[in-house]
Amino acid sequence: MKIKVCGMRNPSNIGDLVKLKPDYIGFIFYPKSKRFIGEQIPDEIQSLIPVYIQKVGVFVDEPFDNLLEKFKSNKLDMIQLHGSELPGYCERLKKLEIPLIKVFSIDEAFDFETVKPYDLFCDYYLFDTASDLRGGSGLKFDWKKLEQYKDDKPFFLSGGIRPTDVEEIKQITHNELYAIDVNSGFEIEPGIKDIPKLKSFMEELRK
Interatomic CA distance for residues 86 and 163, integer angstroms = 34
The one-letter amino acid at 122: C
pLDDT tens digits, 158-182: 999 999 999 999 999 999 999 999 9
DSSP H or E run through 93: helix 87-95
Q: What's the rounded mean pLDDT across residues 69-87?
A: 98
Statement: residue 102 has pLDDT above 90: yes
Does the pTM surpass 0.75? The reply is: yes
Q: What's the rounded mean pLDDT across residues 126-136?
A: 77
Q: Per-residue confidence at 189, pLDDT binned at 50, 70, 90? A: very high
Interatomic CA distance for residues 14 and 45, integer angstroms = 7
Statement: residue 136 has pLDDT above 60: no
Interatomic CA distance for residues 100 and 90, integer angstroms = 8
Q: For the chain, give every domain's residue range.
A: 2-205
Interatomic CA distance for residues 202 and 180, integer angstroms = 10
DSSP conformation letters of 13-79: HHHHHHTT--SEEEEE--TTSTTB--SS--HHHHTTS-TTSEEEEEESS--HHHHHHHHHHTT-SEE
Interatomic CA distance for residues 80 and 66, integer angstroms = 14
- 161, 180 contact by CB (below 8 A): yes
Statement: residue 133 has pLDDT above 70: no
Listed residue (127, 105, 133) closest to 190, CA to CA: 133
Q: What's the rounded mean pLDDT across residues 137-151?
A: 90
Q: What's the rounded mean pLDDT across residues 185-202?
A: 97
Domain 2-205 has CATH 3.20.20.70: yes
**Residue 134, pLDDT score:** 62
Q: Per-residue confidence at 120, pLDDT binned at 50, 70, 90? A: very high
**Residue 131, pLDDT score:** 76
